[in-house]
Amino acid sequence: MPDVLLTHGYFLFEDEKERQIMKPYPTLGLLYLSAWLRRAGFDVEILDTTFARREDVYARLDAGPGVLGIYTNLMTRQPVLDLIARARAGGWTVVLGGPEAAGWPAEYLGYLGHGADVIVEGEGERTMAELLPALAERGPHRLHGLAGTVFRDEDGRIVHNPAREQIDDLDALPWPDRDRIDLQRYVDVWREHHGRGSVNLITARGCPYHCRWCSHAVFGFTHRRRSPRSCADELELIRDGWAPDQVWYADDVFTINHRWLFEYAAELERRGLHLPFETISRADRMMKEEVLETLAKMGCYRIWIGSESGSRRVLDAMERGVTPEQVQWACQAAHRHGIEVGMFLMWGYEGETLDDIEATIDHVKQSDPEVFLTTVAYPIKNTAYYQEVAGRVVTPRAWAAGSDRDHAIRGRHSRTYYKHADQWLRQEVEAYRLTGSDPVRSSELRDAAARSREALLAAAGEVEA
Ligand code: B12
Ligand code: SF4
Mapping DSSP onto H, E and C, the string for 242-277 reads HCCCEEEECCCCCCCCHHHHHHHHHHHHHHCCCCCE
CA distance 104 to 113: 15
Identity of the residue numbered 427:
Q
Q: How confident is the model at residue 2 (pLDDT cuts 50, 70, 90)?
A: very high
Instruction: Specify the pLDDT at position 64.
Output: 85
Segment 379-397 shows an average pLDDT of 95
CA distance 117 to 39: 25
Q: What is the distance of C-alpha 430 from the center of its chain?
A: 28
63-108 pLDDT per residue, tens: 989 999 999 999 999 999 999 999 999 999 999 999 999 999 999 9
Going from the Cα of 320 to the center of ligand 2, the distance in angstroms, rounded, reads 8
Going from the Cα of 202 to the center of ligand 1, the distance in angstroms, rounded, reads 12
Q: Is 141 exposed, middle or buried (0-12, 13-18, 19+ CB in 10 A)?
A: middle
Indicate the average pLDDT of the chain. Answer: 97
Task: Work out the number of other CB atoms within 10 angstroms of the CB of residue 375.
Answer: 14
Segment 405-429 shows an average pLDDT of 96
State the number of CA atoms in the 13 A half-sphere of 108 facing the CB: 33
Statement: residue 113 has pLDDT above 80: no
212-241 pLDDT per residue, tens: 999 999 999 999 999 999 999 999 999 999
Segment 209-214 shows an average pLDDT of 98
- Which residue intervals of 143-298 are DSSP H helices? 183-194, 228-242, 258-271, 289-298
Going from the Cα of 207 to the center of ligand 2, the distance in angstroms, rounded, reads 6
CA 102 to ligand 1: nearest atom? 83
Report the largest interatomic distance among the alpha carbons of the chain, rounded to a whole angstrom.
Answer: 75
State if residue 377 touches ligand 2 by the CB under 6 angstroms criterion: no
Give 156 or 361, the one with higher predicted confidence: 361
State if residue 252 touches ligand 1 by the CB under 6 angstroms criterion: yes
3-class DSSP state of 407 = coil
Mutational test site, ligand 2, from 205, 222, 282, max ligand atoms within 8 Å of CB: 282
**Residue 185: phi, psi to the nearest 5?**
-65, -40
CA 176 to ligand 1: nearest atom? 29
CA distance 43 to 30: 14
Q: How confident is the model at residue 193 (pLDDT cuts 50, 70, 90)?
A: very high
Mutational test site, ligand 1, from 72, 73, 183, max ligand atoms within 8 Å of CB: 73
Element (H, E) at 417: helix 415-434
21-36 pLDDT per residue, tens: 999 999 999 999 999 9
* pTM flag (> 0.95): yes
Q: Which residues contact 455 (CB under 8 A, 6 or more apart)?
A: 420, 423
| Buried/exposed code over 337-362 (b: 16+ C-beta within 10 A; e: otherwise) | bebbbbbebbbbbbebeeebbbbbbb
Instruction: Specify the pLDDT at position 305.
Output: 98
Going from the Cα of 274 to the center of ligand 2, the distance in angstroms, rounded, reads 27
Going from the Cα of 447 to the center of ligand 2, the distance in angstroms, rounded, reads 37
CA distance 35 to 125: 9
Going from the Cα of 150 to the center of ligand 1, the distance in angstroms, rounded, reads 20
CA 28 to ligand 1: nearest atom? 25
Task: Work out the number of other CB atoms within 10 angstroms of the CB of residue 133.
Answer: 11
**Residue 158: phi, psi to the nearest 5?**
-85, 130
Going from the Cα of 423 to the center of ligand 1, the distance in angstroms, rounded, reads 29
Closest ligand to residue 205's CA: 1
Instruction: Specify the pLDDT at position 216.
Output: 97
Going from the Cα of 75 to the center of ligand 1, the distance in angstroms, rounded, reads 10
Going from the Cα of 388 to the center of ligand 2, the distance in angstroms, rounded, reads 18
State if residue 214 touches ligand 2 by the CB under 6 angstroms criterion: yes
Instruction: Specify the pLDDT at position 464.
Output: 86
CA distance 316 to 196: 38
Instruction: Specify the pLDDT at position 1.
Output: 87
Mutational test site, ligand 1, from 3, 16, 25, 74, max ligand atoms within 8 Å of CB: 74
**Which residue, by CA, sits nearest to atom 3 of ligand 2?**
209
Q: How confident is the model at residue 112 (pLDDT cuts 50, 70, 90)?
A: low
Segment 281-307 shows an average pLDDT of 98
State if residue 346 touches ligand 2 by the CB under 6 angstroms criterion: no
Instruction: Specify the pLDDT at position 465.
Output: 74
CA 75 to ligand 1: nearest atom? 78
CA distance 223 to 189: 32
Which residues are registered as beta bridge partners of 345?
A: 308, 374
State if residue 252 touches ligand 2 by the CB under 6 angstroms criterion: yes
State if residue 83 touches ligand 1 by the CB under 6 angstroms criterion: no
Express as a percent the part of the chain with pLDDT over 90. 97
